[in-house]
Amino acid sequence: PIERVLAAHTGTVQLLLSLWWNQSVVVELKGPPSISGEILRREVILKLENSGKEVASAVSVINLNLNTPKIIEDVLAGKLGIGQIALKHGIMTNRRILDVRIKGSCLYRKYIMEGVGLHYEIEESFPRHLYV
């Protein structure tokens, strides 16, 4: 059942995972974000705060022209998940799920999140053995 929720959820993933695991989920950059032309790419791991267990990962593709400088600053800082950044700035978002698939041992979900001064394309992966 949690896989169906992960596949269709349109709220913040960090909050959903925190509720599921009954502890805070923190964001950790896999490496420094990269910029190529007008595109910023950021890869993160979502971990349980208490145990450090990896519960998801995400790759965000962010068009610099479609996001405010404050949003970009928070993305580069790497402390918050993309949904948490939107909440921090009080931006109401619309999320459009583009793809959900199971590939090997992971559930993948790709979506676009849009709001005033904010636009991201995100692909998340969830190790299935943690959620079945």
SS3 annotation, 67-92? CCHHHHHHHHHCCCCHHHHHHHCCCC
Q: Calculate mean pLDDT across residues 10-21.
A: 92
CA distance 28 to 32: 10
Q: What is the pLDDT of residues 19-62, one digit of tens each?
A: 999 999 999 999 999 999 999 999 999 999 999 999 999 999 99
Which tens digit of pLDDT belongs to each residue from 57-110? Answer: 999 999 999 999 999 999 999 888 888 999 999 999 999 999 999 999 999 999
pTM given for the model: 0.90
